[in-house]
Amino acid sequence: MKHYRIAVIPGDGIGKEVVPVALDVLQHTAEVFGDVTFNFTEFPWGCDFYQKYGMMMEEDGIEQLDKFDAILLGAVGDPRLVPDHISLWGLLIKIRRSMDQSLNIRPAKYFEGLASPLTAPKEFDIMVVRENSEGEYSEVGGRIHRGADEVAIQNAVFTRKATERAMRYGFQLASQRKGKLTSATKSNGIVHSMPFWDSVFDEVREEFPEIKANQNHIDALAAFFVSKPQEFDVIVASNLFGDILTDIGGAIMGSIGIAPAANLNITGEHPSMFEPVHGSAPDIYGKGIANPIGQIWTAKMMLDHLGEVNMGASLLQAIEETTAAGVKTSDIGGQASTKEVGKEINKRIKVLS
């Protein structure tokens, strides 16, 4: 019997609605399989916590989280209560950076019952590996002069260490999947960082001769996500390019409420964090209609990361069967509530032969 200690941060808005459903599904899956147990410890951190204590998480929050096998997070941020730069940097980005969660992994996959707007063939199953620690989202730069002469300078930072790490992880992932990798570049327009990115891609691909590897410029790649997504397997992208591509990934699945994500620490020194792509969705919070699939699929990514791939596969199959049966929330064209979708997924969890 394996025991996993999971830190749970429901966070804000619909995070508080979808996380309990995901925990219920995880608990149920553990019971059906019978060889693992989960010990969930909940942390009430987020914007409500900030309003009471003036901080998004406890001061020793990172030390507390470090003791767990994984972190499951709902959503952070409610701009009505706390400005986004405070809530995100005080919790989400703080955890990602303190715990060296250097890769952000986001799938985009079609299955029956989703409300994909694509008219092109829909059988896509893509995994985007997004560099999560540097690139275009760096703090290097500044503003000079004022008025008509004002200048803003934003430097992108690409270290060999982080670029190689993302690239190598992408190739390893491709070798466990369909054996294809696409590097998202823009070396025809960005003259320093992207040629460097390409050279690291060329070096690392030598280690994986069996992988069919190519590169696309990000503008073309964004268009291909819509016109021929079925041609991709693993995509490795910088922080900004990955961010944009994965939002398109959510859009072609038909709802951001479906899309899951993992923030991976690949050194094993700190836990990884699992959080859906969607935010706290204040516009629908409290109505019981939030789609829980993004959070539940996120829990499946956590199971895979813990090595429980059979449980993970069963969970994804149960999700697919549930949407195919039409038990769906309104964002993907159904009428079911958040809890009803969770119950329906639970009914379909089984040990796969």
How many residues touch Mg ion (CB under 5 A)? 1
**Within its chain, how far is the Cα of 96 from the centroid?**
12
Question: Least separation, in Å, of the C-beta of 256 and Mg ion?
Answer: 9
CA distances to 3, 6, 145, 192, 302 from 69, in Å: 10, 6, 49, 39, 10
Positions 282 through 311 that interact with ligand ATP (CB under 6 A): 283-284, 290-291, 294
Which helix (H) or strand (E) is 107 found in, with range?
strand 103-109
**Closest distance to ligand ATP from the beta carbon of 19 (Å):** 11
Nearest approach, Cβ of residue 277 and ligand ATP (Å): 7
Candidates 2-10, 112-120, 234-242, 276-284; binding stretch for ligand ATP (CB under 6 A): 276-284
Q: Does 256 bind ligand ATP (CB under 6 A)?
A: yes
Torsion angles phi and psi, residue 103, rounded to 5:
-125, 140
Q: Is 279 in the site for ligand ATP (CB under 6 A)?
A: yes
Check binding of 127 to ligand ATP (CB under 6 A).
no
Closest contact distance (angstroms) between CB of 250 and Mg ion is: 11
Residue 39's CB is within 10 A of a number of other CB atoms, namely: 10
Residues 279, 292, 312, 342: which binds Mg ion (CB under 5 A)? 279
- Give, as ranges, the residues between 66 and 105 that touch ligand ATP (CB under 6 A): 75, 77
Q: Are 327 and 344 in contact (CB under 8 A)?
A: yes
Contacts of 196 (CB under 8 A, 6+ apart): 158, 163
Q: How far is CA 27 from the centre of its chain?
A: 22
> How many other C-beta atoms lie within 10 A of the C-beta of residue 32?
13
Asked if 336 is part of the footprint of ligand ATP (rule: CB under 6 A), the reply reads no
Residues making contact with ligand ATP (CB under 6 A): 14, 75, 77, 256-257, 278-281, 283-284, 290-291, 294, 329, 331
Residues making contact with Mg ion (CB under 5 A): 279
